[in-house]
Structure 1
């Protein structure tokens, strides 16, 4: 490490000097192996400071090591590889502080590995120089002049990219040389700029960009490597500014915005090294009954997901009405309430969303477990930031049709997911069924549905020998109804749900288009208080008894049914006979009957619990798992 200058002054050898010296001596002595002892466990699949799942590469070729070192991997000084390579001597990179580690062996032969690439490297800060002009097309010698000018001025070029049209060429350099490079090129091509062959603003410098390189001999025998790379970046909203790949298929390099570097490295690492655990980053708003149940389910399932699905679901942010807490390292699923209480700041949804955007984590999902009407304004900036959204909150999808379509289109345009299976039927696969049938080309003829657990319970329980007022009172005592049962009996919640189903089938309805036949007489609706409401219902006992008796006389049962047919949606209390699939419904179950061109004579029926924290949270969980599969 210690040397001297030509004048005999003691000095250090500089970066890599001792490694280079060791390699020279090893080559001169025809050593069996050259050991380089450093402070890490060899060369890693990525920078462990940026990618927590990075692991040691056991073996690597000289060419791979040279490529990774060139693009930022600092473990080996690139010139130190040359003497060993010339004599075909293996180099072992070992850790002085962990002698038990086997480190990395660098040699001439590529060994079989389960991965298409060997490692990912990056240069954090570069400047991208772009030269553009129509006069460059088909003109020989432009590139030679450009790079000769860089060489004469001792400006090293890190990466070169040129489209086949020859209209432009860009290259990456050290940012400290950016302005000098522009001055050199302005002078070199002054005649072409004056003549208009190169645009007057055709020599441009783009700062705050980074290079990522994926490297590996395995790319030669693996198809779709570049596809996986660009898909991983695209699904996380990372724009590729420039790209370069040699015909040797050893390296694919991309230039991206500097603030996307960590996100990109983690996304790429997760895709190419899938035998290691991938990470999904969650931001949960609303820790009430559904939100807390989801977190409990996630805690119980996390070990299974890590072992069987190689998936770590990392809760990074939590927010409730009064406090919020964000931690990019993750929040404990066992002690999240204590962490939120101790570390939480006053809740500000705008600040919460801003922090999500600033974290810029790969594979991010925002989960809205609230019933907040104002929260949907944040869906758009989140989707624009390539953050997927999962929600049981019906507000967004039952607002204006224009808003509904804009959400759908934003998610598609940004390549992320907006999932809301639990908007209708809690955890029942209702929306997924519609989307699957639509995607496969089926056409809907009619949808009939009982979409309220409260109204299902009331009319399943309203049988001979009972009074309507007693059944509604029982439903309120069991917690099935809202504090004012008229909120359920009005049918508005059911109207929102059938509106969402109509839109999912491609029908552009608004809430005002839903025809709602009232269940309650006007006197019950106009009662000033809940107590007064129950008195009015009791006073209308003959009205409800008559409805029941008419149904019984026909051998039928009362059911509150939402119907979508011929582009119209209606809600009304109907009677159904024993042949109808809704006749035998019991408890508080939901049921949906799909009549389509394919399911015509015998409708497709989905039935089960349509409310409750456990099943709703389970539906949210299923949507999150769907996103993890999409991002894999």
Structure 2
């Protein structure tokens, strides 16, 4: 014999009831089956809402009742083509009784727990009758038995306790004399010894099924619902969640207690005592394996089986020096809450005995505070303890698994991954069994926490990186294309799932927490909301995604000014923009401190050398204990391009114009030709080497004329280049006469830095530097004579994008 329970969604429509009947046809073949059914999906809540309208003297309760009536009659109409008159009449009569009860509630303006039980019992009584009669009409050997005649309870209305001795006797007696293949029972409902209607609490249909299964000592208990088992975590919040194949009874209890709604916690106990397996199946997909709950768990199963949460938690803290070494505080605290019928969800106490923290339902917080403050009124007045501290807006997350105790580092993994994602832990509780590690966090962080922990414990070490990109010009566009091309490779080979979830240009911005389309992003961005730097930051914070990374691919000082806010919220920053790292030294140091304080990366590799690993190499040298003595470099791909092309056959004006047209200079070429950009780059390298200096400390000897430097616009600048062509030709001819080539060089030595145009002789490493290439020579204590040289393309959208991509990989591997 098997016992099957079908939840509200499973019997929520004629279509679903037909699926239930198909399942029963297969299950009952050659075997007896007991079928426990819930009320039609949503009806229990509708009954409560309708009754509340009546209590509030709101005449709309009549319309609400009509809605309940139509739901049931419509289901009958769809299930039964003919021979339904008697069924409709019976259901209508029951509904008339329900209406009369609601009218009574309206008149007396009150609904007691006793009346509530009577009201809610209509849901299961109606659904079980409709299903039983439908099956009979289709020729199934079916009987309907009212659970109220079997399950005996006390008078604790809305959550009655079962008298198992009387109940088991009733169940065994009835089924010993029952020969029907299928017996339908309404779940949730029962009666007291005094024959008063009672209920077993929300989720009580599961409990009904477990009580019957244990009394009859059946082969298995099947719980049929609208999901394919108990999931590793809430699939509504974590898309990667998947059904757990097998759980122990204890693991199932822990998960169900901490918010896994598939199973009502008391369900487990009756079948646990009899070692009866529980199988959770999906009515909509009966072929799915589902979850098996039993004591015969396969050897070597996962250490962590599931991650769950409870929302709407309040944390109460009782603390004070007067508690230390004084027995009885805990007893008085818990007695006070017990007298107020307030359930404690979590307890933690410091070993110093200075404080006790308890987690309770947020709805009980106000009552709990008043009661506790009254209990400890004397101690509070004498300042031995503080008035109770109440924190709301919290949730509890729990990591559950029987095998956690035999695996070191589970709690370390849990808390380090949460910490990296700025999820603050308010309290921690862990039992000696190590089956459950619970933590209290802000409710706003639940989604991020669950996704973070699920990634760590279940997703084959795949790490999700969520990118928010500001600036989608040439470089940004190339970066998006590179991510699109490499997305699959990164996931398969580096276990990195890189997603772009926010984009902004100077006009519009778009977001999608499930990842923006990398095919239609341009069209989507064109239709986006109006861009705002503060608005972009606030949305990144509001989405609160794990492993969030802000990428600045602009040259905007206002964007750079927001880096501290991103870092303070544990959002990594990747900066192509040089302004932050070459601005005031105090701001540079602040960003470094924030990066360390909040354990969040601040990377800016592309500030120097575009895609070349200049800063990374420099940092590795220093981290390994080496010391930089001097740096010599050609750091401007645009200036190198200009002076490589400038050979006396074309005007300097035309060469600069060509460099701008080919994208090697900024839209305003004065930024490149003035040497300020190179000065910023050598400043960044000097700072990364450990020297504190500002931009004004760098000697910048410009090769431009006074007219060039004082030009009022880009057009004016180009005009001065034409006027001063003789000056530039002379620079070229002087270098050529000495068999030298012109290179714009940056130098750092003995704490001082300078940039300027130099005549480079043949044989020097800079002499044959072609095109837009950069070169950096690091002289260190380990490389005193032959420097470490990094050389390659130092400008261009593709190589700069690849440098940004490398920073993303660095964060992913962090």
TM-score (ref. length: structure 1): 0.94
Query: Are the structure 2 counterparts of residues 624 and 45 from structure 1 closer, same or farther at C-alpha, using a change threshold of 3 Å?
Result: same
* Kept after mapping to 1: 8 A contact 2:312/2:395: yes
1:341 aligns with 2:521: no
Cα distance in 1 for residues equivalent to 2:375 and 2:200? 37
Displacement of 1:190: 2.4
Residues 28-43 of structure 1 aligned to structure 2 (within 5 Å): 28-43=215-230
Cα distance in 2 for residues equivalent to 1:24 and 1:327? 47
Residues 149-548 of structure 1 aligned to structure 2 (within 5 Å): 149-199=336-386, 201=387, 203-275=388-460, 277-342=462-527, 344-462=528-646, 471-472=655-656, 474-476=658-660, 478-482=662-666, 485-522=669-706, 524-526=708-710, 529-540=716-727, 543-548=730-735
Cα distance in 1 for residues equivalent to 2:579 and 2:442? 35
* Kept after mapping to 1: 8 A contact 2:773/2:793: yes
* Kept after mapping to 1: 8 A contact 2:663/2:796: no
Displacement of 1:524: 4.9
**What are the ranges of 5 or more consecutive residues in structure 2 without an aligned counterpart?**
1-37, 39-185
SS at match of 1:252: strand
SS at match of 1:262: helix
Displacement of 1:332: 0.5
Displacement of 1:466: 7.4
Cα distance in 2 for residues equivalent to 1:575 and 1:112? 74
Q: Identify the match of residue 118 of structure 1 among 300, 305, 319.
A: 305
SS at match of 1:54: coil
Displacement of 1:614: 0.7
Displacement of 1:299: 1.0
Displacement of 1:246: 1.1
Query: Are the structure 2 counterparts of residues 479 and 351 from structure 1 closer, same or farther at C-alpha, using a change threshold of 3 Å?
Result: closer
1:18 aligns with 2:205: yes
**What are the ranges of 5 or more consecutive residues in structure 1 without an aligned counterpart?**
none
Displacement of 1:12: 6.2
Partner of 1:549: 736
Cα distance in 2 for residues equivalent to 1:278 and 1:531? 50
SS at match of 2:336: helix
SS at match of 1:598: coil
Cα distance in 2 for residues equivalent to 1:282 and 1:406? 23
Displacement of 1:169: 0.4
Displacement of 1:265: 1.2
Structure with greater proportional helix content: 2
Cα distance in 2 for residues equivalent to 1:174 and 1:49? 22
Q: Larger radius of gyration, structure 1 or 2?
A: 2
Displacement of 1:441: 1.4
Residues 588-599 of structure 1 aligned to structure 2 (within 5 Å): 588-599=772-783
SS at match of 1:5: strand
SS at match of 1:318: strand
TM-score (ref. length: structure 2): 0.73
**Bigger mean CA offset, 444-453 vs 596-605:** 596-605
Displacement of 1:155: 1.4
SS at match of 2:499: strand
**Bigger mean CA offset, 136-145 vs 167-176:** 136-145
SS at match of 2:738: helix
* Kept after mapping to 2: 8 A contact 1:43/1:56: yes
User: Could you say what the CA RMSD is over the residues aligned between the two structures, in angstroms?
Assistant: 2.1
Partner of 2:67: none
Cα distance in 2 for residues equivalent to 1:136 and 1:403? 46
Cα distance in 1 for residues equivalent to 2:564 and 2:461? 32
Partner of 1:616: 800
Partner of 2:191: 5
Displacement of 1:399: 1.0
Displacement of 1:306: 2.7
Displacement of 1:187: 2.5
- Larger relative contact order (C-alpha < 8 A, sep ≥ 6)? 1
